[in-house]
Structures are given as C-alpha cells and as structure tokens.
Structure 1
C-alpha cells in the first residue's frame, strides 16, 4: 500500500511539472510572437527608383509604413537642405489575407537634387518610429561638349535709345526632348511702359546640328526716363522628359542693360518713330462746293514705333476762308511682331466762308527718325478748292448793250417807183421790231425785279421753323448777307450781335454745340431790321428808273 501511494504521488508530481513547463513555453512563445509582430508593424521603409542620378533628374522616393496612420502628415521639411520637393502623394491600404489583417500608409515623393555629391535622405519619424537614412549619389549632367538640352535666352534689338523710343525685347526657351510642363516668370521692365506683341509661339530650330523646340515671347517697351534701364533675367521652371528620364529643369536668362538718352532740348512735341504717314479721305465731293456747305474730311495719322497714348494733339488750321470743326477724334494702335503702330483718326467738318479759290492748309508733323537718327517732317500737301455762290442765289444781271448795224446799199437812180415802196416797208418792219424789242426789255426788267423782291423777303417765322430746317435757315441768311450787304465772311459783319448769333448757329450745326433758345429769333430780328430800310430804298429806286418818262 505504501509503495502504491508513493507511486501515485510521484506520477501526479511529474504530470504537474510537465504541465507547468508546457505552460511556460506557451507563454514565452506568445511573448515572442507579440514582440515580433510589434517590431514588424512599427517599421518605416524608404527606397528610391535610382540610387545614382544626374543633377536635375527627377527622383521618385517611396516612404512606407507597415501600419496605418490616420490624420498623420509626413514632414518633408527635412529634405529642403539638399532637395526640392516637386510633388507628394499619400495613400492608405488595408489587406485581409487568410484571416491575417494588415494595414499600410504610403507616400510618393518627387525630388530634384540641389547639388552634386553623395546626398542623404534624412530619417523620417512617425509616432516615435524612425526610418533609416537613404543615400543617393548625384553627378554632373553628362551632356555633349557645347550642347545644352535646354536654356533660356533674352535679347533686345537696341542697346541705346532715347526716352519713349521703342525697344523690342525677345525671350526664347530652347529645349530638347519633351516638355511635360513649364512656367515662366514674365520680365520686369521697371521704368518702362510695355506691350505684349506675342504671347507665345512655338517652332523648331537646329543649332550646331542639334534639334530644339523653341518657345518665344516678344514685348515692346518704351523707357520713360533717361539713364540705364536694367531688365532682370526671367526664370523658366518645369519638367522635361529626356533620354527616358524625367528632369526637373530651371533656367535663367541673363540681365540686359539699355542706355536711355534724354529727350533733346527744344523739341516739342517729341515723336521718336520709324515712320510717320498722313492720309486723307474726302467724305463728299469737293468738285462743286457752295458757300456755306459742310465738307467732310477724314485725316489718318499712322506712327510706327509709338503707343497711342504717346500721340500728341494735332492742331488743324483752316486759314482765313475756312472754318474747321472736329466731329470726332479716335486714338488706337496695332500690334505685330515688329512693334506697335499708333493710329489717330480725325473726322472734320470744313465750312468755307468765302467764294472763289480757297486753300486748305497743309498739315505738318515734325518727328525724330529712329533709324536715320535725325529730325524729319511729314506733310499732307495743301489743296485748292473752288467755292461757288450759295445755292439759289441770284446772279447780278448784266445790261445788254444796244448794237446798231448800218446797211449800205447801192441802187441805181433809176430804180423807179417800187424802190420807194420797198424802202417804206423796210422802215415799218424795222420800227415794229424795235418796238417789240423795247417791250421785251421792260417785261424782263419787271421779271428780274420781281425775283429780286422775292429774294429780299423776310425769313420764315421762328415758331414755324423745325429743327431740320436750321441748315436751310443758315444758308439763306448767308445768301442774303452776300447779296444785300456784300459780306463774304461772318467776321466782316459790323453788327456784333448778329455776328455772335450766327457764329453760335454755325457751331451748333457743325460742332454740335448747344444753341440758345432765342438765337434764331435774334438773328431774324437783326436781319429783318436792316432789310426793311435798305430793301425799301432799293426797290423805290429801281421802279423809278424803270418807269422814268421819256
């Protein structure tokens, strides 16, 4: 019995010990598994598509964790000393395979090295876990001698100009391969006005046997002050695919300095230009112009090498026998690859104030020829115009001088009885013709006087005068002044009130000036005042002379 009890006790002790050892092994295995899982999940890996690159090559770097990070951001500022970060993308991924759960967070970075040498991507840290440094070797670009895959060039057509003179600034970017994207910083012209002549043009060009794609921009600039104008070199940035590699590119053009000379003294107005043209167009015929007519004239001035804002005011003189009114004045400009052309268009109304041959004065513009470097004058030649009397005017009658014809006939003294009868018949016939001639003269005189009296009637009542009849009223008034007072110009009128009111009416008709309400009534009153006295005396005198007794 004792032996049996001991045997049973030993068996129980051995079983308990084995169970304890097994439990300890299981716990240790669990701890090791947890430690292993923890070590795997807390790792951050860094790798690049290439470990050795050329300067300006784009490097793709992948940063990945074995655990998902919510609302976490990768700090890329640690790269700024040696790299430029072009772009970054983040993605999260969750996988369940055969019941195993895994999650990762991934960043894709596109970098460009700032310098050559053995560079290092510093360790990234997330939730206390750090990655290992990652080395990258950067070498100089292996270009062929004298061949650049891309470069930026800036040029000007002139290096020395006067103030306000046009300068053409051309900017070109040359590249081989395929340009994926790009951005250029516009040039800064400082103390100069500018116009963009060409936004962007693209063409091909071969340089030293190498094919390039060229992007071109062109500007016109106009320095506004003397001295040295410095144009900083613009910068181009972008991405280029060349030889199967993507490169982040950055190119700068050289700065340009332009010497700007001051405007020569005593030269108003100052017009520095390549060419100046003056053209005219008559808007109506000048072959038959009557006193008081309005002649439409269009003047076009084209100045190559100036902006429209630089054009001076042009004074158009009409001389003593011609009034000039500006209907409209327009300034514009045209742009092309050669520069700016300013255009001024003037529409004028010319009103002759005298009959006969009048001269339209010439138009002269003095300008500085930027190509020949001297002053020059462009002229629109003067032109003569024949001005006839106003329409419906009465031409002065010219008396017809009587002519006497003496007929000498030779007859034989023995013509006989029939000669005397024939002579008497001829005398009677001539007497009848003379009487008819005198009667016709008197009838013509009465008809002329009647027409003259009708021409001297008073002007129409103001209350019955519509607005569209103002030009007719104006022309009738000029006609009456010419016939009755022998006045060919408004400035010859001795009545100051009448002169003032007629000038106001003229400005209203040809210059759209405002017209006083009592202007027409005042003109009518002054015209009728001297008509009643002067016309009455002339009519009585004419009737007395016509019916003077024999």
Structure 2
C-alpha cells in the first residue's frame, strides 16, 4: 500500500505543469495588398475552453471574416505541449499603415502588430482572373427613397468555394433583393462567369455617404491546384437629400405614381342588391411596397361597402423598384337613387421634378334602380271585399219610417194587408240576417286561422341550406322576405325589422359579407332558418290567442 502511494506521487511529480504562459498574435503576410485577404492567428500555449479573444476592435479598419478555432497536443520525448489557436481572415480596403491591437485571453495579453498595406496596382486588377464591379441606380436619392445597388462578380476560373460580403452604409437599410443570378459575359475576348446580386438601399437620414464596396475571397482550380483568390469592389459616393419643409402628409418620394380603377360590372346603372366590385390599383416607382399608403373607401349612405382582398408587391425593372398595391371593395346598393362616389386624391413628391404632385381618381355617379328580379308583390291582403250583404236591415223598410208616413183618413183594406205582410217579411228578414251573421263569423274565424297557418313555407330554405350554397340561399331568403313583407325593395331589411332579433341581423350581415367581399366567413344557414321558424311559431300562438278572445 505504501509502495503504491509512493509510485503515484512519483508520477505526479514527473508530469509537467500545464498552465498558459504565453499569448501570441501573428499574420501570415506583411505587407499585404489593399483588397487582399490575410490570416490573423492568435495562439495560447494551453487548452482554453469557453473563452475567446474579442475581435470587435478590428471592424474599424478591416473587413473581418468568421473566426475559426483549432487546438492540438504534441508529445515529444515525454514532453507534452498544448496549443489553442483562433484564426480570423482580414482585409483592408485602402493602403496605409495599420495597427492590429493587443488581445487578451486567460489572463494573458498579446502584443500589437504593425501592418503595412500597399496599393493595389491597376494592372494587377486587369490581369486578375477574378474582379468585382458595383453600380448605383442613382447617385442622389431623397430620404426613404429606394435605390438599387448592383454587384457583379466576374470569374474566369472554376470556383471551388468562396464568400461575398454585403455592402454597408451608415444610416441606411440594405436588403438583398431575391436570389443571386448567374450568367456569362465576354470581356476582352475572355469568357467570365458573372454572379449578380442586387441590394435595395433605403436611406434614413440626409447627407453625403459612402457605400463600402463588397469583398470576395475564395478558392479556384488552376492546373490541378487550388489557389486562394480575393477581390474588392469600389466604394460608391451617394447624396441623400432631406424631405422638403413644405411637404404635408405621408411622405411618398417617387419618380411616378399612378392611380387606376376597374369596375365590375362597368355600368353606371345597376339594380338594388346587385354587387359591384371596385378594384383600385396604386403603382409607384422608387418606393417599397411597405411605403405604399392605404387607400380607403369613402362611406356612402345607401351603399354598403365590404373590403375584399388586398395585395402589395414589388419588383425590379430596369434597375428601379416598382411597387404596386391592389385593393378590392365589394359595394352593395341597398335602395334606389343616384349616388356620387367622391374623388380620391393621393399626394406624392416627384423626385425628378422636385415638386409635389397629386394622383387622382375622378368622382363617379351611379344610378340604382329597383330590382326587376324580385318576386312581384302578392295581392294586398288588407284590401277586403266590401260586404254587400243585401239582407242588411238598413236596406229594408225601417219601422220608424213607417211610423212617420202620413196615414190617410180613408185607408183601403188592401193597403192594410200589404202593410201587415211587409211587417211580417221585415221580421223574417231580421231573423235571417242574424242567422247569416253567426254563420259568417264562423267562416271568418276559420278563414283567419287558415291565414295564420298558411304562412310562407320555409321548406325551400331548408332544402337550399343543405347544399351550402350561400348565394342560392340568399336569393331564396329574399323571396321569402318579399312574401312576408309585400315589399320588392329592401325586403330582407324589412324582415329583420319584423323579426327584431339581433342574432338574425348578425347572421345576415355575415352572409352578405361572405357573398360580396369573398371573405372566408362562416355563416350558419340553419341558425337563420331556426330563428325564422321560432318567429312563425310565436306569431301563430299570439294570433290564435287573440282570435280566441274575439270569438269565445
């Protein structure tokens, strides 16, 4: 036991002390050319986990690539050496003398590095197998005006791999448009693969700015060898002009703004209940789709408006951003009359003429006529046939009239007999009248009950609801409303007033919105039928109670 402990202590004493003692920073090239990538290596003589040098200070003077980490352990003659290395690819855009700052890791600090960057010769660029070209759609933009920045990478060798950095600009948003494209071009008789990227530039502040050109670094195949290559794009100067002080409203800078509309049907005269689709298209050059303002539909009394689908799109045409907004509205005339839809105006700033313009949709007048397809009104039940009871006592000789007759002193016997007979007939007539009145009351009671029972049937609505065809159901509902209300125009609205049920109103509004705005609104057709059935049942009970009170 003592011997084992002694051996362990001996082995421990023989092992070297592994502790970081030195941090070094170095570059693989010095001097380097402007636009040429070189490698910065930061090494420590130990294994370091969960810690790495801060390279953010390099962003001021260099294009900084990703950082890679490697570690190794060497055993030579029983001596164990460990090393951890961080590698960063760097590039400078301009010639001059630079200083790579000191770094700190694991309590150790490296020494700064003096770096000399030489000017890249024009001949070197011409003879290179790879180069970059950059261009701007315009060197002068207004604040929030959209510009296009184009990058073209020319490759004369087979590309194995590589990375192309994005351009950068202060106080601006740069966004790549779509995917990069590939094509082939002949330059001085040499065939190049051209990779093209387009970026959308949206400046946020006025002033003179520099767009830092992109940088490319990669590997190409040449004579069975792999070569490291790099290229640097030129910087671009751009002037950003401020928003004019006299401009009012939503800022919309553009070279061209156009408002257009389409009507379906394209008629100035329509019938009540005929859906009209109005599609408004806004097109603007030099702005993004997010900058397009909302086009609102004015409210017209007597015409319901339902917003339909809306789409915003943009594309690049001839180096310019073209954005378009398409908004559709469903208009539903409710009552006859003449309506004028007011003019729609949209102010915008013309960046070519440097002045405020207004895009306009002219006012439009439409005439709404009564519906010709509605079921003609039924015979007015309130027009009763005049009771021409010929047996009414008012049509017979009144006793008081007999009494007022002048009685002659000498009355013939036959005249007395006629008078008596007339009186008897009058009594018979009165008895007959009261008998017929009782029979007539019974008939009228039966007829009134029959009128209540024979309300418009809901069977057609029930059958149509099973097909889930909202349009057919709405037409059948309108027919039912015409029978109930005796109105050809606004029958459904009148039916809602008669039933006086808020749920029915909501269901019908949902149904109309689904029909005339193409929205995916679910409407419970059976619920509408159920409400109408309940209304008929309540009306029947109420009227039967009234009849019972009248005829009991």
**TM-score scaled by length of structure 1:** 0.48
The structure having more radius of gyration, on CA atoms, is 1
Q: Normalising by structure 2, what TM-score?
A: 0.48
